[in-house]
Structure 1
């Protein structure tokens, strides 16, 4: 959408708001003006980014324009929105729109900061990449002919899209704004995995064509398969060949040697902006580091208590070695790991009614992480409709942590919270379809801890696995700030996590590289969980016998994904209303 088009839509909506204001209250008029602004911006915003499995949208026919000119236009656009937003009297809005205003302002401020610091010049880290995100489209559900035609159209745009990203990366390379070199080692293998099979049916981009819906006529299926292979030959393979040459000859050799975000251009301000975006809080690195140290000490004491329940004879380091090496704690086959995850998920289904009133309509599948990305991927990841379990390197996937992982990534974590947000049609779309890390990851980590109350951990080892996962996220507060502001080395960060968690060494290596390459993101989990725990404790104390856990959980999840101050304010209202939930069946 052009600026002129956005201006026309905004002007029309504001004009309607002005006419409406003659008979409406100031709050209604201000609300109409606010709605005009966010409706136009959201419509434009959706066109700026690639769609994915979390977007709730159908497969697009196009890849976004990520050129420098487009990035500069985005910055100017969102700065205009910032100014228009500041001109609205937020205090004069209705209570509901005051909440919407806080959430929307956070989103716009974050988008402006990303453009100002030129995050688009680093479209990759050790964990994800722009080319991997495009490849992820092949894993989505293709339901009709239009999905396939749009996908082929996307593939035809890969050379342009890759070239634009490479130009941005060159600009970042020139000014020293890249992920640390050590975290990029071997990541070119994910590009090579596309090149090796070439334009054949074994290529991962061809996956949607292998099994097509019976509703598509056979002749049309044959046509679409031929178009897919042609797109692989003419567009996908050449684009990946250009990319792998750039990565191997220019980008990885020239990437920055330092690990610290503070060593990037305007590094201190940049890292503080990452803290603000990922935690929604105005905390300093030193404050976060100290919170981490305090929480690590607290969890370590709990771990020692649970270790004693197992009758293990030895100290904590010896117990961690025992957990990392004893075969009883590891699946022997990928299928065994997947089936165990599915069993845990079904156990939760049998308990859900006691803890939640409103359930999402969308179910989720359990699938292995694709082979080409599994060596560098996390142990699991979840979202709307999917729970991915990493079955690569089984000695790094302990069963004692699987219950915590499943609660986090599937239900009641990401594959539960995110669909509930998307299905809440009472919220504006900018709340339904956006994800704020502090809330989303905080909720998922809270879901792990909630598993204790729900009876999801069957043995002391399972509970130790949960505590190890809590410790994992607490150590992130120490490691992330240590690396990016205090001169910590990669080895120092790895050793700190080895000493304090039961994670396998391989997983610690991939995780530390993720924190190094993605400053600030790791801080969102534990700080978000602390906010939910504190809000719940406050409600329990204030409401006493009137506190209903189902109503509390429904209240939190009904928000969607919000900055942590908004969460606290909503729980304060929950208390003031006597613990009443957001849905009639909570009463």
Structure 2
């Protein structure tokens, strides 16, 4: 799943896909998603959200936990309103981030005050489940404060303003939202443009802060690679903002959109003239910042140890792929049996144009039949949503990803598997978006659908809504290891039931995740150059050049540290399953195990293990 890499302020580690929105929602579990009337509802582009079903009353401990979560939701809505709105805090829909240093200082103070309040509640709480949720909230607030302090100490605050605006608008102008939520996009647009009383254009405020901090000695300047990438794609993203307002026929958007575009273009001009000459040619983070990035993404291994484990796994996976490739080459009478040659041959079987989406929907149906037949996990009665990505989405989130449903106060909104067909060319080139062959061949659709749709992220996030997971576990416990670990685990449990070609490409994508876990830290440590990493990914993992470029950008400036979480999260889940199977023996039931894991929310690996051992293994009857 792609993680949106926006530099906002005091933002908790929310999944705002690549990672993604006045009174807080009621202190109750999110309402269950209803089943749509027909499968067609899943693919209708402008279908309104289904009417909400009656929600079963949440357990008392969940309701009490959700009351405590309001403390952090209030802070999130005040200082990161785009993120708060995207998870369902509707009062934040018209609000915008203030990128001033004064706002960041106020946010830190608000999180510190929240920590004091939550600690009091934690000390007085007698229910173990509620106490655990309170600790999740405390940990999230602590990370927000520490991350803000580290940034202030070490680096200049560079805001990707066009990306932030696109996130704020696209999270509202969405087929899954009600017309009233879409209407809020006009007010947010006017505030971004500085046309509302009391608001200065957001680009002007970000530019002023950038100039102020560039003058301070000792702070790390923005990376040239990052700025050049944004300058190369910002025009396409701005076009995408206008396309959204026209698609939903939001009356009165033309004047504020024109004003906003002038501000964003002026910001880009200032980046070219004033910031690029002072940008650093490197990209590596200071060790404290990189260590914090790993921690925030749920990875608790030292970088060198993580890289060593990943190198070993990479070699093991290559050996598995080589054996499988030999049999595929023999069956298909291919001239070469090397896994690279076989994957290149499979990539030639491209899906084109209007055939792509129906193919993925058919693949999803095949996967669901396998899941039911093999009793892998319980599926909802409704279909999953799949659509192709727009050009603007592909520029901002250049990988297949799942747009999560609204997690709080859900009114029938569902997650969407979004498939990009083109990726940005190299910064400074005139190529624009380039077609790729990695996602649109038949063998790839097995593992991509398993990861992003079912049994992966779409099912994972739907379970938070439909099972009434507490706000702490659905929102504030989130990190990339527990989210992406499940997505990669979903690929792994389906792999034995794929055809050989699907298995090979599934192993190819697992090979990529292992490569990420050593390339990311080794790039940060200066052990490999970006050019060498791109060449390695093209040759050894058989990625198309645009995807290899996008991968290296992820490791260097989009989200350093995040890419390691897939490999780490998968390993933790596989270790947990092996431990449970060993303990339970013939009592182990895969479907019940997977249902239990999903019902816990997105707990970090250590908390997930404790929940499974105490409340799953311990609750199963003896034979």
**Normalising to structure 2: TM-score of the pair?**
0.75
Is the aligned partner of 1:270 residue 2:300?
no
Structure 1 range deviating more: 337-346 or 82-91? 82-91
CA pair 147-377 structure 1, distance change in 2 beyond 3 A: closer
1:218 match: none
Structure 1 range deviating more: 412-421 or 321-330? 321-330
Is the aligned partner of 1:287 residue 2:305?
yes
Offset at 1:32? 11
Counterparts of residues 488-567 of structure 1 (less than 5 Å): 488-517=528-557, 518-567=559-608
1:386 match: 416
1:507-530 Cα offsets, whole Å, 9 max, x none, are 111111111112111111111111
Counterparts of 2:268 and 2:126 in 1: how far apart (Å)? 52
- Gap runs ≥5 in structure 2: 1-22, 28-60, 194-200, 405-414, 423-434
Contact kept, 8 Å, 1:34 with 1:88, in 2: the verdict is no
Contact kept, 8 Å, 2:94 with 2:187, in 1: the verdict is yes
Offset at 1:359? 4.1
Out of 255, 262, 274, the residue aligned to residue 230 of structure 1 is 255
Contact kept, 8 Å, 1:364 with 1:410, in 2: the verdict is yes
Is the aligned partner of 1:205 residue 2:238?
no
Contact kept, 8 Å, 1:289 with 1:477, in 2: the verdict is yes
Offset at 1:279? 1.9
Indicate the SS of the match to 1:519: coil
Contact kept, 8 Å, 2:237 with 2:395, in 1: the verdict is no
Offset at 1:541? 1.1
Which protein is richer in helix relative to its size? 1
Is the aligned partner of 1:121 residue 2:154?
no
Indicate the SS of the match to 2:115: helix
Offset at 1:81? 3.2
Counterparts of 2:346 and 2:376 in 1: how far apart (Å)? 37
Offset at 1:321? 4.3
1:55 match: 87
1:448-503 Cα offsets, whole Å, 9 max, x none, are 111124x2x22x22111000100101111100110112432102222332343132
Contact kept, 8 Å, 1:323 with 1:502, in 2: the verdict is yes
Contact kept, 8 Å, 1:409 with 1:415, in 2: the verdict is yes
CA pair 169-358 structure 1, distance change in 2 beyond 3 A: farther
Structure 1 range deviating more: 405-414 or 73-82? 73-82
Indicate the SS of the match to 2:138: helix
CA pair 309-122 structure 1, distance change in 2 beyond 3 A: farther
Structure 1 range deviating more: 541-550 or 487-496? 487-496
CA pair 364-154 structure 1, distance change in 2 beyond 3 A: farther
Offset at 1:552? 0.6
1:7-54 Cα offsets, whole Å, 9 max, x none, are xx9xxx9xxxxxxxxxxxxxxxx9999877543232332332233685
Offset at 1:136? 2.4
1:154 match: 188
1:463 match: 503
1:257 match: 281
Indicate the SS of the match to 1:372: helix
Answer 1 or 2: higher relative contact order, Cα 8 Å, separation at least 6. Answer: 2
Indicate the SS of the match to 2:387: strand
Contact kept, 8 Å, 1:439 with 1:528, in 2: the verdict is yes
Offset at 1:364? 4.0
Contact kept, 8 Å, 1:383 with 1:409, in 2: the verdict is no
2:327 match: 309
Counterparts of 1:301 and 1:104 in 2: how far apart (Å)? 43
Contact kept, 8 Å, 2:72 with 2:141, in 1: the verdict is no
Counterparts of 1:369 and 1:32 in 2: how far apart (Å)? 37
Offset at 1:349? 2.7
Is the aligned partner of 1:111 residue 2:130?
no
Offset at 1:576? 3.8
CA pair 387-66 structure 1, distance change in 2 beyond 3 A: same
Counterparts of 1:363 and 1:381 in 2: how far apart (Å)? 17
1:43 match: 74
Contact kept, 8 Å, 2:72 with 2:137, in 1: the verdict is no
1:20 match: none
Counterparts of residues 8-47 of structure 1 (less than 5 Å): 38-47=69-78
Is the aligned partner of 1:397 residue 2:439?
yes
Contact kept, 8 Å, 2:170 with 2:241, in 1: the verdict is no
Counterparts of 2:297 and 2:188 in 1: how far apart (Å)? 30
1:414 match: 457
2:523 match: 483
1:337 match: 356
1:82 match: 115
Contact kept, 8 Å, 1:323 with 1:329, in 2: the verdict is no
Counterparts of 1:151 and 1:86 in 2: how far apart (Å)? 37
Structure 1 range deviating more: 296-305 or 143-152? 143-152
Counterparts of 2:554 and 2:119 in 1: how far apart (Å)? 36
CA pair 574-36 structure 1, distance change in 2 beyond 3 A: closer
Structure 1 range deviating more: 80-89 or 401-410? 80-89
1:221 match: none
CA pair 294-485 structure 1, distance change in 2 beyond 3 A: same
Offset at 1:88? 6.0
Counterparts of 2:491 and 2:213 in 1: how far apart (Å)? 38
Counterparts of 1:32 and 1:415 in 2: how far apart (Å)? 25
Counterparts of 2:403 and 2:229 in 1: how far apart (Å)? 27
Offset at 1:411? 1.7
Counterparts of 1:376 and 1:557 in 2: how far apart (Å)? 29
2:315 match: 297
Contact kept, 8 Å, 2:86 with 2:171, in 1: the verdict is no
Is the aligned partner of 1:67 residue 2:97?
no
Counterparts of 2:382 and 2:157 in 1: how far apart (Å)? 36
CA pair 377-40 structure 1, distance change in 2 beyond 3 A: closer
CA pair 38-473 structure 1, distance change in 2 beyond 3 A: same
1:348 match: 367
1:422-449 Cα offsets, whole Å, 9 max, x none, are 334351x232234321100110011111
**Normalising to structure 1: TM-score of the pair?**
0.80
2:411 match: none
Contact kept, 8 Å, 2:77 with 2:89, in 1: the verdict is no
